[in-house]
Structures are given as structure tokens and as C-alpha cells.
Amino acid sequence: MGKGWAARRKVILERDEYTCAYCGYKSEKYQIVHHIDDNADNNDEDNLQTVCPMCNLILHAGMGCVVLRVVDLYEQSNYPQEDIIRITREMRNSGASDSEIIEHLGLKNKMQFRTDRDYLRYLFGFITSRFQKRY
């Protein structure tokens, strides 16, 4: 990221009180500083926000769906995306399986990933508990 990134990251995390801008998850560990405009060279404070790893996977759906294969996309949900993340985290911490969480969330009509923001805008992402080996 370049010189000064660690200091800039710390400023943003502290400014945002280590709280995800999307789902509200608060943690001093593992939070990510996200470039809102997806330009990694634009480190202006107005372009940076704190996001949790789960929301980051949704923001970068191509990585989560295609590369890591831990994100599934659905056409329908009983909840908005930020609630899907929050409820998934809560239910997983209580021992619920992916199928139980998917049913509770009302996720239906699994869809394929496409590199098309207009297409993705209307889909709901679910971070599965699948683990993929990294080679």
C-alpha cells in the first residue's frame, strides 16, 4: 500500500471506532480499511472506511465467489445485506449450520457471479462456512 499506510489505517480505524460501516460489527482485530472508490492509490480520509471481513467479501464479490469460493449469491432474501451479515454472524456463533441460516434468512434462487455491477446490485451475498485450500 505504500509508505504511511499503517499510520493512515490506524487513523481510519480509530475514527470509525473499529466499527464496520455496513453491518455495525465492532472489533479491534481483523477490521479492514476499504477504499470506497476501489482506487487503492486514493488514500484520502473521505475515501476510506472501516469494514469487517465479511462485508469486505461482499464488497469484493468476485474474490469471494470465484477465487475463494466462500460467497454464494441469491436473488431473494427476507433481509437487507447488512442484516444478512449480522444475522449470519450471530447464528453461526450459536452453532447454526449454513442451511439453517439460509432458511432463516429466506435466501432463494441461487445465482451465478458475473462481473457486472448492475447485475450484482440486486443480489444478496451469503458467506458460507466452506473452507477452500489456498495454493
Question: DSSP for 29-45?
Answer: SS-EEEETTS-TT---G
User: Which pLDDT does position 2 carry in this prediction?
Assistant: 66
How far is it, in rounded angstroms, from Cα 81 to Cα 125? Answer: 7
User: Which pLDDT does position 123 carry in this prediction?
Assistant: 96
What does pTM read for this prediction? 0.84
Nearest in space to 105 (alpha carbons), one of 132, 128, 126: 126
Look-up of cell digits 473521505: 46
CB atoms within 10 A of CB 7: 8
| Percentage of residues of the chain with pLDDT beyond 70 | 95
Beta-bridge partner residues of 114:
none
Distance of CA 107 to the CA centre of its chain: 17
Torsion angle in degrees (nearest 10) through CA of 85, 54, 71, 59: 100
pLDDT (tens digit per residue) in 61-112: 999 999 999 999 999 999 999 999 999 999 999 999 999 999 999 999 999 9
Look at 117 and 52; give whichever has higher pLDDT. Answer: 52
Span 44-55, mean pLDDT?
Answer: 95
